[in-house]
Each structure stands twice: as structure tokens, then as C-alpha cells.
Amino acid sequence: MIIGIIGAMNEEIQPFLKLFDTHEKIEFGKNVYYRISYNNTEIYLAYSKIGKVHAAITASSMILQFKCEKIIFSGVAGGLQGLKVGDLLLATKLCQHDVDISAFGHPLGFIPESQVFIESDSSLNAIAKEVAKDSGIHLYEGVVASGDQFIHSIEKKQWILKHFNAIAVEMEGASVAVACDCLGVPFCILRSISDSADGEADVSFDEFLESSAKISAQFVKKMIDKIIK
């Protein structure tokens, strides 16, 4: 089996490089991928860079170039609906909150020949729930909204809640969902909350980025152990 793990930032994949300390660096498409051999399984790890375009390129490269059969995104997000720093969440569905062709009568987030929401893989999600149960962790579930904006205002936060009923906001997950959905590869999006997407988001994000990324990485490592068991 070949598994791909993506983070958006270097800080989000550094915990994995410590968990899997033996790896080979491969350069492709102006990015670096880390090939890891683990219990008769190949793992490809990369940070995509921030934003939907880079995340989609990285997910597509993992599938088309490195033949990954499952994709897991691990990283941090801004919490909505009362989520706190360090909380773990599982994206059951993902949407793009910054897509707007409503001038043509379409709902916000809709792209013709696609849909507003893309569902993540139920089998991988079930494994995530098993890990949470085994670890005594409360795993939140719900819609995650992605867009090429760092959300740090209460007004924008409320707008996303109103239109998409999301529990978290970030900048990559939905584009990974689109790439995996188009290419027929199951995916799972795990996020650990680093801020509350409000007026203090920039401060708390910097403070809790590394600790939140570590929480998510440790969780994903346990998922991989179950996947290849």
C-alpha cells in the first residue's frame, strides 16, 4: 500500500519527520516529497505550501506521480462553533467558501459540473473514529470550509457559518477533496484547532501552530498503524 500525507506548512509535517526519522527526499514539481518505508508500506509526505492551488497540485502529484492509494491531510484550522485550541476534528464534508458565481443563479461554493460539498471517505473516517475511541479523544465532526484567505474577523466567521454551517475554516482541504474525488482516491482531512478565526486569530495561530500540528500528526500516525495492520 502507498499512502500520502499532506500538510500545508513545514510546521505541519515536521512532527511526522520526527515520528518517521528515516526518509528519502525526492524533488518533483518545485516541491520536496519525503519517501518513508514503514512496516512494508510506502508513505509519501509533503507540505504543499499554503492555499488551494498548491494543495491540489500536491495531492494530484501524490496520486499520479507517486501512485498513492489513500490521502490523509493533517494540519491546523480555525475553529468555528465553539471549538477550542487543541481540539481535533474530522471533515465529513468540505466546501470552498470563496467560490461565488451566484450572479448566474448558483449557490455559493458551487462550480458547474461539480457540487458545493464533497464528502470524505467513510472507511478512513471510521478508522479515525476508532483511533479517537481507543485514545480517549473527543473527535469533532462536520463541514470544513476552505478558501484562499486567513480568516481573522468575526464578521467573516459569521458569514461562513451562515452560508456553509462549517465547524472549521482553513485554506487547503476542499482542494485536496476535489483532486481526490476527480481521481478516485479515498481521502481523509484531520485538523487540530490553532485559533478561533476571530479578531485574535493571528496571535493564537502563531502561538499554538506547532503544538496543534503535533497533536494532529500523532493522531494520523495511529491511523496509519490501523490502516496497515
Which residues are identified as catalytic?
12, 195
* Number of neighbours of residue 10 by Cβ within 10 angstroms: 12
Using the structure block, give the residue that is written with the C-alpha cell 503544538.
211
- Whether 184 and 160 have beta carbons less than 8 Å apart is answered as no
Nearest-angstrom CA–CA distance, 161 and 144: 10
Where does residue 184 fall: left (phi above 0), alpha (psi -120 to 50 degrees), or beta otherwise? left
Nearest-angstrom CA–CA distance, 84 and 142: 15
Per 3-state DSSP, the chain is made up of helix, strand and coil in percentages (nearest 5) of 40, 30, 30
Could you give phi then psi for residue 93, rounded to 5 degrees?
A: -140, 155
155: Cβ–Cβ under 8 A, 6 or more apart, which residues? none
The grid coordinates listed for 55 are: 494543495
